[in-house]
Amino acid sequence: MYSEESMKTEGAFSWNELMTSDVEGAKAFYGELLNWQLVDEETSCGNYTFAKLGDKQLAGIMALPEESKEMRPSWGAYITVDDVDATAAKVQQLGGKVLVGPQDMPDVGRFVVIQDPQGACISLITYSCVE
């Protein structure tokens, strides 16, 4: 499993995810390039591919959501925070932008996508799936 410690630690990078228009192509490329074992699972958000090395989950691969079809395929990272809603408010106080407002990801947690004042984007998450 992915590091449960990073999923509990505020400020820790905790997950990496590829959103792509060609899931099968991405699986073939990264599986061969990095020797990842790729495991497809049906989740509450649809089909999701977990990338693993041995028994450790490293990342996920998913199709671009319908509302994001105009985006280019890209990797994104998640940073753990204790309270997504409070952190989203703080982003704006510090001059950043909230690009995707706080929302629940069923069976996983609550997340937000932000942009820092320089234009870099990242996702922040509070996990509900770890104790």
Q: What is the pLDDT of residues 115-125, one digit of tens each?
A: 999 999 999 99
Confidence of residue 3 (pLDDT cuts 50, 70, 90): low
Q: CA–CA separation, 80 vs 7, rounded Å?
A: 6
Assigned CATH for 4-127? 3.10.180.10
| Residue spans of beta strands (DSSP E) within the chain | 13-20, 37-43, 46-53, 56-63, 74-80, 97-105, 109-115, 121-127
> What order do you get walking across the sheet with 13-20 strand by strand?
37-43, 46-53, 56-63, 13-20, 74-80, 121-127, 109-115, 97-105
| Residue 15 binned pLDDT confidence (cut-offs 50, 70, 90) | very high
On whether the CB atoms of residues 130 and 15 are closer than 8 A, the answer is: no
**pLDDT > 80? residue 131:** no
Region 21-42: what's the mean pLDDT?
96
CB count within 10 Å of CB 112 equals 21
pTM attached to this predicted model: 0.85
Structural contact between residues 72 and 62, judged by C-beta atoms closer than 8 angstroms: no
Q: Give the pLDDT confidence score for residue 68 in this predicted structure.
A: 83
Is residue 1 very low, low, confident or very high in pLDDT (cuts 50, 70, 90)? very low
